[in-house]
Structures are given as structure tokens and as C-alpha cells.
């Protein structure tokens, strides 16, 4: 639609024209501000654990497990130097402390964008029976982790207040 | 021809060149949620008369829902 609108504007004499290819879904998915009727609805950005532990592919499982336990984390993220999410590691699944993150991680976990509504992700978590999810921006850069418990609490608080 | 830009360039254009953001989706979509500062001019309503409301002196960034 935007290319056609830009073409039409060009025929109307507009010259300094740009087309935002990603559109508003790209904007909101990056966690940038929104306006409008739905903008006030709570999103998972509000319950994001940005401090989820992050590890490189070559880090050893032993120290990874130590860090996860020390912080009380069940899950950690494996990222590349640019912060792009590559995989996830569950503390309970670590058996060999000499293994690398690459060897023990689950590859390519499902991710969600920060603009997903709390109720939408909660419904999906209940339907598909999962307790946590990683959140990335449209380029795959890790933002953090959200849990079903936090989402349910935040949603209840929002519903009580509104 | 319009130059295709990404999110970073959109932010730069708005911040440093005072670009206008124009959403061309139906007005209901705009009212539901839009980029702050954007104006609504649905594609179906876009013509010489309605376009008079736009500032020709400033860069104009057109967007819809996504790249499709």
C-alpha cells in the first residue's frame, strides 16, 4: 500500500518522498512508542527481564550453570557478539560442565516482539503449554525474557485497574 | 521515486529533518494504533485535494502496516 501511495504522491508533485518499508509493525516490534486507542494496552515490554544471563557460543557449561544458579535463573540465552539470539540453555539440562554453550543449547527458540499484548501471549502460552519466552527486536537482537507468571500478574493488575 | 528507508533512517529524518509521517492505511487502523506524530490519509482518499494538507517543504515518509 505504501509504494502505491508514494507513487500517487509523486504524481501530485511531491519530491522529497520516503517509503518506510517495515511499516508500523516494524516500528512497534522494535519497542518504539505507539499512539492511538490500543496504545495504552499493556504489552510484554512491561514485564521483560532484560537482565537474563547471556552467553557466548564457546563458553563452558560449568560456569554457565554457576551463573544461572547464582542468579536464580532457570534459563539463559546464547547470543552472538552483536546480541542476536542463537539459542537457549536450561540449567536443569546441563550435565557436562566441560561442554560448550553451543553443544548444550536449544537452537533457534521461538521469539516474540516487545509489542505483543499481554493477553495474546498469555493465551498462546496456555494453549501451547510453555512458561517463558525470549523477546527480540525485528533484527533478532535479544531484549530479554518474559515468564507466564509475570504476564498473568501484570494482566490481572491491569484488569483490576481498568 | 520514493527512497526506501529503514527504521533508523525514519527516526533520523523525523528528528533532524522534521519529516512528516503519513499513514495510508484505513482510518480505523490509524485510530487503533499509529506511530506518534503521524497523520492519517488513507490511500483510498489520497488525491490532489486531500494532499493539500501535507507540507511540501518537509520530507514526507509514507508507511502502512508492513512491507507487503
Q: What is the CATH number of the domain that holds A136?
A: 3.10.580.10
Question: Apex CA A84: angle with CA B68 and CA A111, to 5°?
Answer: 60
pTM, 2 dp = 0.83
Q: Is residue A33 part of a domain?
A: no
Q: Is residue A121 part of a domain?
A: yes
- Cβ contacts below 8 Å, chain A against chain B, sum to 134
> If DSSP codes are grouped into helix, strand and coil, which group holds residue B28?
helix
Chain B contact present for A24, CB below 8 A: yes
Number of domains chain A is built from: 1
Q: Is residue A149 part of a domain?
A: yes
A150: containing domain: 41-161
pLDDT digits (tens, 9 = 90+) for A34-85: 999 999 899 999 999 999 999 999 999 999 999 999 999 999 999 999 999 9
Q: Kindly report the average pLDDT of chain B as a whole number.
A: 94
Q: How do the domains of chain B map onto residue ranges?
A: 7-63
Q: What is the ipTM of this complex?
A: 0.95
Report yes or no: A154 and A42 within 8 Å, Cβ to Cβ: yes
Q: Is residue A141 part of a domain?
A: yes
Q: Give residue B68's pLDDT.
A: 46
pLDDT digits (tens, 9 = 90+) for A92-144: 999 999 999 999 999 989 999 999 999 999 999 999 999 999 999 999 999 99
Q: Is residue A22 part of a domain?
A: no
Chain B contact present for A7, CB below 8 A: yes
pLDDT digits (tens, 9 = 90+) for B22-36: 999 999 999 999 999
Q: Is residue A136 part of a domain?
A: yes
Annotation: CATH topology of B7-63:
Oxidized Rhodanese; domain 1 (3.40.250)
Is B10 in Cβ contact with A10 (below 8 Å)?
Answer: no
Chain B residues with beta carbon closer than 8 angstroms to that of A116 = none
Chain B contact present for A141, CB below 8 A: no
Rounded Cα distance between A118 and A153, Å, is: 10
Give chain A's largest Cα–Cα span. 67
Q: Is A41 exposed, middle or buried (0-12, 13-18, 19+ CB in 10 A)?
A: middle
Q: Is residue A19 part of a domain?
A: no
Task: Report H helices in chain A.
Answer: 2-11, 23-29, 61-71, 101-104, 118-128, 148-161
User: Scanning the structure block, which residue is given the C-alpha cell 512458561?
Assistant: A131
Amino acid at each position: 500500500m505504501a509504494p502505491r501511495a508514494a507513487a500517487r504522491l509523486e504524481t501530485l508533485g511531491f519530491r522529497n518522498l520516503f517509503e518506510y518499508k517495515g511499516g508500523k509493525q516494524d516500528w512497534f516490534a522494535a519497542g518504539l512508542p505507539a499512539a492511538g486507542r490500543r496504545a495504552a494496552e499493556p504489552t510484554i515490554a512491561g514485564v521483560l527481564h532484560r537482565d537474563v544471563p547471556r552467553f557466548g557460543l564457546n563458553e563452558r557449561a560449568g560456569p554457565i550453570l554457576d551463573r544461572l544458579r547464582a542468579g536464580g535463573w532457570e534459563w539463559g540465552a546464547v547470543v552472538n557478539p552483536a546480541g542476536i539470539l542463537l539459542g537457549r540453555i536450561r540449567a536443569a539440562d546441563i550435565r557436562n560442565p566441560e561442554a560448550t554453550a553451543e553443544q548444550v543449547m536449544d537452537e533457534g527458540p521461538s521469539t516474540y516482539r516487545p509489542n505483543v499484548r499481554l493477553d495474546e501471549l498469555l493465551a498462546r502460552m496456555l494453549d501451547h503449554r510453555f512458561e517463558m519466552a525470549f523477546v527480540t527486536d525485528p533484527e533478532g537482537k535479544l531484549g530479554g525474557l518474559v515468564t507466564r507468571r509475570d504476564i498473568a500478574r501484570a494482566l490481572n493488575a491491569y484488569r483490576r485497574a481498568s | 521515486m520514493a527512497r526506501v528507508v529503514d527504521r533508523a533512517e525514519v527516526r533520523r529524518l523525523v528528528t533532524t529533518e522534521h519529516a512528516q509521517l503519513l499513514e495510508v492505511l484505513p482510518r480505523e487502523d490509524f485510530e487503533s494504533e499509529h506511530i506518534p506524530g503521524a497523520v492519517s490519509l488513507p490511500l483510498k482518499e489520497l488525491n490532489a485535494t486531500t494532499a493539500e494538507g501535507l507540507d511540501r517543504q518537509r520530507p514526507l515518509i509514507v508507511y502502512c502496516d508492513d512491507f507487503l
